[in-house]
Structure 1
């Protein structure tokens, strides 16, 4: 058994963990990042859009490390920037999933983060109000990791749950969670024809970094034209099936429409079953698109390597973001950043997407307290599993908010470890000052974005 130690331990290498690890290391902390998969980047590697940097009123509220990643992706040809859209949101930020993985792996290396791949935490040992050590399985057997401050960026709140932090799952007493999906990546398609056939509103159009004619990079629609065929083939459980498309290429496209219902992403048997069912479902959808939808005739499809879980655990933090906080666009004294993506809930009974716009000025604050469980002082929980109601979670679960939370968590943990204190005891004003130095937008009540 090997023993590891560091200043900041980040568990989970999705977008939240990537941002946390880079941010902490840039503050001078010795950082270890544990990731179960053989790659970092999580759902962004599937090609999903990094929703959402710009509010429905056209104001950009997400900057900092999230914007830096987009800027670097544009330079390497893997993104086209923030593109206006006339649909359920005012702008979209499509990226190439493989380029995202390459870029953040490079950024982690530049920052000096030590990544341990194939590492799954199996036990959290606690001493009083602190996480004392973590036991994880990886190549060579079981190992231990100790750190003065720990960031749970697992998405499912795995570390918090192991330590005994209370959490909720899903909506109401039945704990029905949003469906699990698998992104489909198509090659050799005609994106312009697909957008004409399936787009419900004008597609978001953008020019590639190297120039050329504008291409459709984001649009959403439905399969209503093919309801009879869909029901006859049993392809989906409902008519008028919603479908979402994004790309940064003229001949490739990502399709988001598959789903399995009523499965718990924290249950290994259920998650494995979802992977099997979704892989087969993606193959059937791909065949249907080739046979019926213009633009897909000559395509071939590669399903994502893993299923995407929208909802599982949300911890009970020192503050819980409420429905009204989001729907009224509330602001908080201990803000660490803002969220402007609308509440996006895929109905547990049908997987149809339902959107609710954020009120007020179109953005709400994320309080630092949402990332702090009441039971522990050296544990920060960031990303999809942050303390929020089912409705509020519909906005916080998306990747731009997760990048915001990850950066704040990383800086907070690094500052705390450097000061030899726990993250819960950190002076929030000091954290906010450091976030502003890193070009994080904290709203009009704080120093304006430079």
Structure 2
């Protein structure tokens, strides 16, 4: 039977957002709240991206302790605190970040789903972007595939929040893939959740730096974040086949006194754009975290009665970045640069996991500890109605180590959503949008641009 390609939904949306991770959620919410008829396309049967894996949302506070990330990102955290799914922004000591914001993965996913529904966003789950039709720098429509049909969707403005720049790449936009020169990509990982854990014992056994404590009403403070290395168990982990190298680093977080999210897996040599590579990584990383679980239960106090749940999908750090009107670079991060076209600030330091899978590099943000995110970095060169937000914005390999993390992704997602809505409503090319109007709307939405207190 041949498939006939027809309009999947018989209307032209104001804004189409590709990707339902934290950047896409922020973009779709922001666009809809500006009055734009918005559709969000997500290939998985749920939204949330890496926030739905148990990773912390890094980071809202600069090294001076100043909060610079607000807007939708802060709103979600506030809503989760009410539900018990977050403990706020907790300052750290001895780490490469200056505060951590752990969230419950499932509550994040559920609350974000509810917020999109409240805003009137049309969410298409299980729907994959296959192609984008563009001419003269204008995207006309995208071809998508769902469970039982192949069709297309039309919109006035498109936001690529896929993480991999899939929409922009399919539309013919220039992209950089992997590290400059080699094309190598940072390793991929898979989170591991442990339940029925004695956190005090686990923290005492594993943490090599001062743990971060927080509490909830009626509950004594407990370690919500700690990290270290498995150096003391190098020989055991090698013998068990968990790692092929020594001194493996790990990071943990939680918002519950008897659970732990563990970021301790890694696999190098994976192209996150290649479904065959990702399938291979899913198999091998699932085995790796299962081996890690066996190690923890057998050798580490506090895990004797634990149950372990590997995450459902592989977390990808690096694939493509668009070539934008401006490319955020190493110097911008090193000096904490400020821009006239700021659409928000970020303060996550450079966090690069070497492509060989055996080492990490962390470098502080310079200046006052925060850098502006310029609007021009969201605009692909030569395109009128296309924006990129989140991990795939325009940045060098080095700068990508800072901009790829969830707090910056939420900032750029919200900005892209507001800009897309305004461009659609005023019939204006994204690159010609009045900057003062965009920045005014962002301030009204509670975004901190670095030059005034958030609303």
For the aligned pair, the TM-score class normalised by the smaller chain equals over 0.9
Deviations 1:301-358 (A, max 9, x none): 1111100000000111000001010111000110101110111111111343321000
Asked whether the equivalents of residues 148 and 422 of structure 1 are also in contact (C-alpha less than 8 Å), the reply is no
1:75 aligns with 2:82: yes
Asked whether the equivalents of residues 16 and 382 of structure 1 are also in contact (C-alpha less than 8 Å), the reply is yes
Q: 1:271 aligns with which of 278, 293, 302?
A: 278
1:42 aligns to what? 49
Asked whether the equivalents of residues 179 and 351 of structure 1 are also in contact (C-alpha less than 8 Å), the reply is no
Q: What stretches of structure 2 of length at least 5 have no aligned partner? A: 1-5
| 1:286 CA drift (Å) | 0.6
Q: What stretches of structure 1 of length at least 5 have no aligned partner? A: none
Deviations 1:142-167 (A, max 9, x none): 11111110000000000111111111
1:206 aligns with 2:214: yes
1:227 aligns with 2:203: no
Q: 2:107 aligns with which of 96, 99, 103?
A: 99
Deviations 1:395-425 (A, max 9, x none): 1000010110110000000111111222222
1:449 aligns with 2:454: yes
1:197 aligns to what? 205
Secondary structure of 1:181 counterpart? coil
Structure-1 separation of matches of 2:447 and 2:284? 40
Q: 2:34 aligns with which of 27, 40, 43?
A: 27
Deviations 1:156-190 (A, max 9, x none): 00011111111112223221111000000111111
1:252 aligns with 2:268: no
Q: Which stretch of the first structure deviates more once superposed, 414-423 or 1-10?
A: 1-10
Secondary structure of 1:215 counterpart? strand
Secondary structure of 2:220 counterpart? coil
Q: 1:114 aligns with which of 107, 110, 122?
A: 122
1:157 aligns to what? 165
Secondary structure of 1:308 counterpart? coil
Q: 1:420 aligns with which of 416, 421, 427?
A: 427
2:146 aligns to what? 138
Structure-1 separation of matches of 2:261 and 2:380? 36
Structure-2 separation of matches of 1:217 and 1:226? 23
Structure-2 separation of matches of 1:180 and 1:379? 28
Q: 2:73 aligns with which of 51, 63, 66?
A: 66
Residue pairs, 1:259-408, within 5 angstroms: 259-408=266-415
Question: TM-score under structure 1 normalisation?
Answer: 0.98
| 1:277 CA drift (Å) | 0.8
Count matched residues: 447
Structure-1 separation of matches of 2:225 and 2:178? 29
Q: What root-mean-square deviation, in Å, do the aligned CA atoms of Structure 1 and Structure 2 show? A: 1.0
1:179 aligns to what? 187
| 1:194 CA drift (Å) | 1.3
Structure-1 separation of matches of 2:381 and 2:235? 53
Structure-1 separation of matches of 2:251 and 2:358? 13
| 1:228 CA drift (Å) | 1.6
Asked whether the equivalents of residues 69 and 104 of structure 1 are also in contact (C-alpha less than 8 Å), the reply is yes
1:188 aligns with 2:193: no
Structure-2 separation of matches of 1:432 and 1:37? 33
| 1:202 CA drift (Å) | 1.0
Secondary structure of 1:172 counterpart? coil
Asked whether the equivalents of residues 267 and 357 of structure 2 are also in contact (C-alpha less than 8 Å), the reply is no
Asked whether the equivalents of residues 340 and 363 of structure 1 are also in contact (C-alpha less than 8 Å), the reply is yes
Structure-2 separation of matches of 1:417 and 1:45? 31
2:133 aligns to what? 125
Structure-1 separation of matches of 2:130 and 2:370? 37
1:237 aligns to what? 244
Secondary structure of 1:32 counterpart? strand
| 1:234 CA drift (Å) | 2.7
